[in-house]
């Protein structure tokens, strides 16, 4: 982790990172399936909850939390250097200190989404530029699978929205197919997600001549 990100980590990680039980050891990103995160306890209030899957270096997380102080943001990310970068961005955004409406869990979202949060408790789920795994033999590693869709549907509040974005046409098609096959969800928008900033993944995709696809699904 670059020194500036480590310094941000040392200053504010204890206010932002949520420690969770890890049955496979302290360095594992697998959360204990029996663990339940209570947003009211973690954020100290009740507010609409956004869960970001794979927040990377925190662009959407930090910008979204700044623009919606009345919402709470919970990011799930396995890549520790990305979390350090997000903390540094957070300090740049606030001038000093943590954003009170952001928490990050260093955790595998695939497992966490299935177990860690109460059904119907999430206002929005964000999955922006998930790892594309462009080679055909790696498609099975993509995070958006029928089981993942099922986990998101379980979490969404009655008016909840799942926002996805990708710069890979093949992944976009696959998202439309896999998520579109879920009868409890309907596609409500293909416009750019309102709070989604331009990240390096979007810039890189656009520079390479790829098209950006946004998809927003709502519970029927
Ligand atoms: C391509 S990056 C996109 C980051 C960010 N969403 C953006 O748009 O800039 C994908 C991120 O998802 C994270 N990721 C991949 N699989 C994950 C998982 N199972 N649980 C949590 N995060 C995951 C990666 O570590 C990486 O930071």
The closest of 14, 57, 21, 60 to 37, measured between CA atoms, is: 21
Return the pLDDT at 27: 87
Residue 26 has pLDDT above 90, yes or no: no
Tell me the mean pLDDT in the region 95-102.
97
Tell me the mean pLDDT in the region 118-133.
97
Residue 134 has pLDDT above 90, yes or no: no
Give the binding-site residues of ligand 1, using a 6 Å CB cut-off.
53-56, 59, 76-79, 82, 108-110, 128-131, 143, 199, 201
Q: How far is the CA of 53 from the centre of ligand 1 (A)?
A: 7
Give domain limits for the chain. Answer: 3-219
Residue 72 has pLDDT above 90, yes or no: yes
Q: Is residue 6 within 8 Å of 93, Cβ to Cβ?
A: no
Residue 163's pLDDT band (cuts 50, 70, 90): very high
Residue 16 has pLDDT above 90, yes or no: yes
Tell me the mean pLDDT in the region 175-190.
97
Q: pLDDT exceeding 90 applies to what percent of the chain?
A: 95
Residue 157 has pLDDT above 90, yes or no: yes
Tell me the mean pLDDT in the region 13-27.
94
Dist. CA 155–CA 152, nearest whole Å:
5
Q: pLDDT exceeding 70 applies to what percent of the chain?
A: 100
Phi/psi for 108 (5° steps) reads -75, 115
Nearest CA to ligand 1 atom 27: 56
Q: Given ligand 1 and candidates 22, 50, 51, 56, which is best to mutate, with the most ligand atoms within 8 Å of its CB?
A: 56
Dist. CA 120–CA 172, nearest whole Å:
26
Architecture of domain 3-219: 3-Layer(aba) Sandwich (3.40)
DSSP letter (8 states) at residue 71: S
Output the CA–CA distances (angstroms, integers) from residue 104 to 25, 203, 212, in the order listed: 19, 25, 26
DSSP 185-212: EEEEE-SPPTT----HHHHHHHHTTPPP
Long-range CB pairs of 179-183, under 8 A, 24+ apart, other chains included: 179/144, 179/149, 179/215, 179/217, 181/146, 181/149, 182/146, 182/149, 182/150, 182/153, 182/217, 183/220
Return the pLDDT at 123: 98
The closest of 77, 100, 105 to 15, measured between CA atoms, is: 100
């Amino acid at each position: 982790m670059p020194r500036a990100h480590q310094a941000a980590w040392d200053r504010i990680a204890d206010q932002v990172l949520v420690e969770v039980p890890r049955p496979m050891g302290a360095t594992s990103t697998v959360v204990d399936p029996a663990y339940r995160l209570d947003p009211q306890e973690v954020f100290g209030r009740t507010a609409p909850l956004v869960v970001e899957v794979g927040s990377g270096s925190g662009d959407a997380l930090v910008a979204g939390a700044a623009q919606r102080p009345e919402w709470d943001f919970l990011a799930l990310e396995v890549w520790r250097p990305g979390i350090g970068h997000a903390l540094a961005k957070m300090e740049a955004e606030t001038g000093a200190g943590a954003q009170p409406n952001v928490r990050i869990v260093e955790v595998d979202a695939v497992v966490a989404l299935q177990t860690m949060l109460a059904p119907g408790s999430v206002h929005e789920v964000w999955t922006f530029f998930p790892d594309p795994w462009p080679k055909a033999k790696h498609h099975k590693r993509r995070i958006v699978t029928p089981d993942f869709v099922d986990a998101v549907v379980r979490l969404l509040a009655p008016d909840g929205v799942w926002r996805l974005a990708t710069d890979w046409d093949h992944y976009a098609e696959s998202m439309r197919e896999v998520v579109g096959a879920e009868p409890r969800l309907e596609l409500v928008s293909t416009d750019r997600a309102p709070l989604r900033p331009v990240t390096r993944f979007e810039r890189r995709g656009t520079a390479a001549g790829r098209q950006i696809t946004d998809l927003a699904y709502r519970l029927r």
